[in-house]
Amino acid sequence: MGRRNCLLGLVCSITLLSQPLLVAQGPNSPRVKAIVEKGITFLEGDLTGYDQMKTTGGPVIVGLAVYKYHDVYGVSGGKNHPKVVKAKANAVDIAQTVTNASYNGEKKYYEAGIAAILLLEVDPDAYRPQIAALIKAIEAGQKENGSWGYPEEKIGDTSVSQFCILALWTAKNRGFTVKVEGIANACNWLMRTQDQSGAWGYKGVNDPGIGQFRRTSQAKNELGGTNYVGAHSDAACGLGSLYITAGLLQFVNQQPEPPKKNSNVNSALQVKKTDAQNLKPLTDTVPDGFLRGALTLGDGWFNSNFNSFLREASPRWPFYFLYTYERYRTFKGLAEKEPFADAPSWYVTGTNYLASKQQDDGSFTGAIQTGGPAMDTCFAMFFLMRSTLKSVLNLARDTTFVSLGELPEDAANARIVNGKIVTTQLGGDIATILSMLEDPNAPQFKDMKAIPAVLKLSADEKERQAQIERLKALISQGNPQARRIAIRQFARERGLDAVPTLLYALSDPDETATREARNALRFISRRLNGFGLPDVPSATEKAEAIEKWRNWYLQVRPEAELEPEDIAPSTSTP
């Protein structure tokens, strides 16, 4: 009995001693912040002696980690921090390098992906040309099988692919055009190279081929050696990327719930939850059932194997794994519409692991297969700060704008700063401009900025309504330049009431007028990516977009009577 009591006492003592590590503490808890601040202090120091810092991409990852710290914890000066300034400069250099057709460096698409992510996170407005160049290079570098990898190899690399996919997701959510076909091809490759166990290997070595959807063993690499199937880092890369592509293609939800505190915003902002419940895939080239089966199989693998990395003496890329796992869990949570918890159990487990691995100088490094202290510390920081979740919530915040009166002159190039849509805006008198636009002999405006972005309507209600009707008439009767300007101004004045007319304008034969209508609908609806209508759409794509926007409008205003003939194609000529 005495021995039993001693054993029981020992167990209780161990439990009590370990209890502080089991307390659910999120990124803002004193404990986690202390770990993060110690790690950031290390990253802010002299890292020039580490091998990864001798590459162009290494300082970009460090700069991103430092910037994320400022963003997550509300610390000012992030954009101008020396490490971030260096990261931006390197990212610009990468943009110049990867667009050179003769450049085929081994890390080309790793670097292109991380450079795009850095610029998109830190300052997408200031670096639009570089971001566009990086996205173009990434899309051009996609292999025929749908993956990315080392330029000289035909097979794809799961890790390289996840950086490129994350870059495309970030770009799309910052208003850049991303090809649906490329996302679909990536999604299909990820499904075809998933191991039968539900995990992924280092490379997609046993791809059954385009259009062949069956799971094969990914255990051996192209030389017969191990392909690291069962390694947590590769599994998280694959599954996280699959969730991202599934969301981009609208097979699963990828939008957080709208902020409840903004109860006084335009009613159009309240449709987001309804939209998420009525998703329609953007492509028919991805097999829905096989995709959902792949997601379920991958989830099952992690349900069974997540904690096993804690028992491994030398796990493969442990800090990189936690970085990619946080991304996977964020997008899984979005897909399943889970409320975001401050400290879910997997986060607590990962935090406890990291707390036990931090060195006295604040760094982290693995026993084998390590990125070195600089990279491993960055990856640990990304996990602890819930980096992906912060990016998702930033995008949700940035698309919550104050009023439709802020609809910008050029919606395609506008951005949202501190919750408000901003762009260059000028003043103007609408009476003079309306008369000029209605005059068939008036000069043709080649530059849309020649017309003031803000046309001040009459304060007299009767005159104001008459001016609005003149704008509406111009949408169907004016010359191409007049139609473009009228579409923008009419949307500004009427907001949600303008939607039926904007649906009509989507069929305009003038491509720029169509884009004006598309952009206005995006801002009115808070759907910054709309329903996928490209800049130069076909007649079929226009018809599909009109139908999708019509269905959206009827969800927002179920009492509206909107028949197909109400949005018949325009007969005006460009």
Task: Give residue-wise pLDDT tens across range 221-267.
Answer: 877 888 989 899 999 999 999 999 999 999 999 888 654 443 333 33
Q: What single-letter DSSP state applies at residue 442?
A: S
Q: Report phi then psi at 563, rounded to 5.
A: -95, 155
pLDDT digits (tens, 9 = 90+) for 515-535: 888 988 887 876 766 777 887
> End-to-end distance of the chain based on CA atoms, in angstroms?
95
Q: What is the pLDDT of residues 87-137, one digit of tens each?
A: 999 999 999 999 998 999 999 999 999 999 999 999 988 898 999 999 999
Average pLDDT (29-56) is 94
Kindly give the residue spans of alpha helices, DSSP state H, lying in 317-429.
318-335, 345-357, 372-384, 387-398
Element (H, E) at 415: strand 415-417
User: Quick one: three-class SS letters along 265-333?
Assistant: CCHHHHHHHHHHHCCCCCCCCCCHHHHHHHHHHHHHHHHHHHHHHHHCCCCCCHHHHHHHHHHHHHHHH
pLDDT of residue 562: 64
> Residue 548 — pLDDT band, cuts 50, 70, 90?
confident
73, amino acid identity: Y
Residue from 31, 259, 298 nearest 158 by CA: 298
Q: Is the pLDDT of residue 79 over 50?
A: yes
| Overall size of the chain counted in residues | 574
CB within 8 Å of 68: residues ≥ 6 apart: 121, 381, 382, 385, 387, 390
Q: Would you list the domain boundaries of the chain?
A: 404-567
φ, ψ dihedrals at 206, nearest 5°: -125, 55
Mean pLDDT computed over 142-156: 96
What is the 3-state composition of the chain as percent helix, strand, coil, each rounded to the nearest 5? 60, 0, 40
Report whether pLDDT(7) > 80. Answer: no
Here the tokens at position 262 are 């903004």
Mean pLDDT of the chain: 81
Least confident of 20-24, 53-57, 160-164, 493-497: 20-24
Q: Which among 33, 43, 30 has a CA at the least distance from the CA of 361?
A: 43
Does position 25 have pLDDT exceeding 70, yes or no? Answer: yes
Q: What is the pLDDT of residues 154-195, one digit of tens each?
A: 999 999 999 999 999 999 988 788 999 999 999 999 999 999
Tokens 């794994």 sit on residue: 321
Between the ranges 150-154, 414-418, 463-467, where is the mean pLDDT highest?
150-154
Distance, CA of 140 to CA of 557 (rounded, Å): 42
